[in-house]
A and B are shown apart, each in its own frame.
Chain A
Amino acid sequence: MTHFPVEKIRLDFPILEEKIRNKPLVYLDNAASCQKPNAVIDTISHVYRHDYANVHRGVHTLSVRSTDKFENAREKIRAFINADSTKEIIFTKGATESINLVAQTYGKANLKPGDEILITAMEHHSNIVPWQMLCEQTGALLKVAPINQQGELIFTEFEKLLGDKTRLVAVVHMSNALGTINPVKKIIDLAHSRSIPVLLDGAQAIPHMAVDVQALDCDFYVFSGHKLYGPSGVGVLYGKQALLEAMPPYQGGGDMIRKVTFEETEYNSLPYKFEAGTPSIADVIGLGAAIDYLNDVGMDTIAAYEAELLDYATEKARQIKGLRIIGEAAEKGAILSFVLDRIHPHDIGTMLDSLGVAIRAGHHCAMPVMDFYEVPATARASFAMYNTQQEIDVLMNGIESLIEVFG
């Protein structure tokens, strides 16, 4: 194992001290939501104690201070994903709202009956349903590129479905249910060769790898703060400036306007055009603190450590008789989805919980993926930078014991 200061990192996450049913917490539900470091918790608390007022409003000291910190967080996020400009960083409630925003503005303005939107068979519901709603509204059609048994996109099928009528490609960067990392650069290059824009759902990818939106050349990239060691209730839409400029606004309200009369309204410039109403101010600043923390550790360092954790867990899981791993893509992030012979994932979840181990049991908001593998649900252990090999041992011992108990 390469040197990774995991013990030092663990001290930065106070919740890891919790006892669950009198046992040390082993938190392996990071794909659902990550825990928060002191840096984030303290920053949010500091904002409310010392800096808080509404942003972009008053001339008073606190409003200026809040606004500076808020906009400073936007700049941190710009740098983190290497966007060209802070005008391209739109704050939303989360990845889900970011996708809905693109569907209801870009989508509504550009899609006509018979046009097609292309997604993949491994999408989260948040990258399926907004497009289905858009299709209902516009008469466009949703096309789905299939996956193979390993849980990988079948690229040749994807290429075939990318037709004359395709107006938008929306693909998950890393699958939350399978761990698959899609060949997004290849997808984007192919789509662009046919002048089709690409949205990447980066909710799951962004805590696990360095993301460079200019190198990828994606047109939209969405993610949530809470999976990135930041607060819930804040997320990001990155969009290329030219696309965002041409899009109609999403919601109407304060902050997104320049001038309002009862006869007409002039919209604000980017990024504010898409940020109606008071944003989640302290949470945005908290997300900025999470990004500082991640930069200190280093995204490449985190990716290397998590890859070792996943290899270790996969190796151990393969030794358990009756365990079947769901999702064995060659390119995979730190997610281990599995099923056990004759033991339902909810029983696995409850039994592991009694050992202090938190995993997710269910359909992971990806019911079509469950249908593909013909399972009602899976159990999923998902890893973060604060997890250890010892914790994986606790998980695997627990699985072996519960198999014994079920008999």
Chain B
Amino acid sequence: MFDDLRDLYQEVIFDHNRNPRNFRVMDNADRKVEGFNPLCGDRLTLYLKMSGDVIEDASFQGSGCAISTASVSLMTEIIKGKTEAEAEALFKTFHEMTTGKDEAIQLEAVGKLAVLAGVREYPARVKCATLAWHTLDAALKNEQKSISTE
């Protein structure tokens, strides 16, 4: 019935929506930033544990749509063990992939995150996928205030 949506709602997304990874409060977090999308009410809190400039652990809490939940769940998995510079680079690539500015983007460069490439066909949903990453960007820049997609 929803064949047209297969590119947007891939099984991986349903899986992460049902069972979000790293969905927990981190008591000993070094960085904690809140992200908010006022258009749809999606809210998340991102926690990072740093070891030097390496992201040792990442977790989140919050509620949102399947796209935003899967996006932040996947993100917390993929950034663990990455340096700040590597995570920033990934944010840039992810942003380009989801906003469709570079059609020829190397999907292998983003690994598992490629399942979110489908949002570029749904402009109303792009911010659902990028909220997590804007929040991460703020956390990496050590901005403590809450950030908003608007």
Q: A21-B4, A402-B2 are in contact. Are A350 and B125 (CB under 8 A)?
A: yes
Name the interface residues of A112-128: CB closer than 8 Å to any CB of B. Answer: none
- Output the residue of A345, A347, A363, A376 with the most chain B CB within 10 A: A347
In the complex, which residue of chain B has the Cβ closest to the Cβ of A343? B66
Chain A CB within 8 A of B5 CB: yes
Beta-carbon contact of A407 and B14 below 8 Å: yes
Complex contacts, B18 vs chain A, CB 8 Å: 407
A354 in contact with B14 (CB, 8 Å): no
Q: Are A346 and B4 in contact (CB under 8 A)?
A: no
Interface residues in A212-269 by Cβ distance below 8 A to B read none
CB contacts under 8 Å to B, within A393-407, are 398, 401-402, 405-407
Question: Does residue B104 face the partner (Cβ distance < 8 Å to A)?
Answer: no
**A351 CB within 8 Å of chain B:** yes
Does A165 sit at the interface, judged by CB under 8 A? no
Give A contacts to B, CB under 8 Å.
21, 343-347, 350-351, 354-355, 361-363, 370, 376-377, 398, 401-402, 405-407
Binary per-residue interface labels of chain B (56-96) against chain A in the complex, 1 for a CB within 8 Å, 0 otherwise: 00000001111100000000000000000000000000000
Instruction: Specify which of B39, B43, B67 is in contact with A362 (CB 8 Å cutoff).
Output: B39
Given A346-B128, A350-B125, A376-B43, 9 more pairs with CB closer than 8 A: A344-B40, A344-B63, A345-B65, A354-B5, A361-B40, A362-B39, A376-B40, A376-B42, A377-B41
Question: What's the least CB distance linking B1 to chain A, in Å?
Answer: 5
Say which size band chain B's interface belongs to.
20 to 34
- A402 and B4 CA atoms in complex are apart in Å by 13
Given contacts A346-B125, A347-B65, A347-B66, contact A370 B41 (CB under 8 A): yes
Partner of A363, one of B4, B41, B63: B41
Over the window 1-43 of chain B, the binary record of Cβ atoms lying under 8 Å from chain A Cβ atoms (1 yes, 0 no) is 1101100110000100110000000000000000000011111
State the 9 A-B residue pairs at the shortest beta-carbon distance, nearest first.
A376-B41, A344-B65, A346-B65, A354-B4, A401-B1, A377-B41, A347-B66, A347-B65, A354-B5
Bound state CA distance, A406 and B122, in angstroms?
19
B65-A355 in contact (CB<8A): no
Closest beta carbon of chain B to A287's beta carbon, Å: 29
Contacts of B67 in A (CB 8 A): 346-347
Which residues of chain A are near B125, meaning CB under 8 Å? 346, 350
Contacts of B64 in A (CB 8 A): 344, 376
Chain B residues near A406: list those with CB within 8 A: 14, 17, 66
Residues A351 and B40 in contact, CB atoms below 8 Å apart:
no
What are 8 sample pairs from A and B whose C-beta atoms fall under 8 A apart? A344-B40, A346-B125, A350-B5, A354-B4, A354-B5, A405-B1, A405-B2, A405-B14
Pair A346/B40 contact, Cβ less than 8 Å: yes
Q: Mark B105-116, 1 if CB is under 8 A from A, else 0.
A: 000000000000
Q: Output the nearest chain B residue to A377 by Cβ-Cβ distance.
A: B41
Determine the chain B residues whose CB is within 8 A of the CB of A21 once the complex forms. Answer: 4
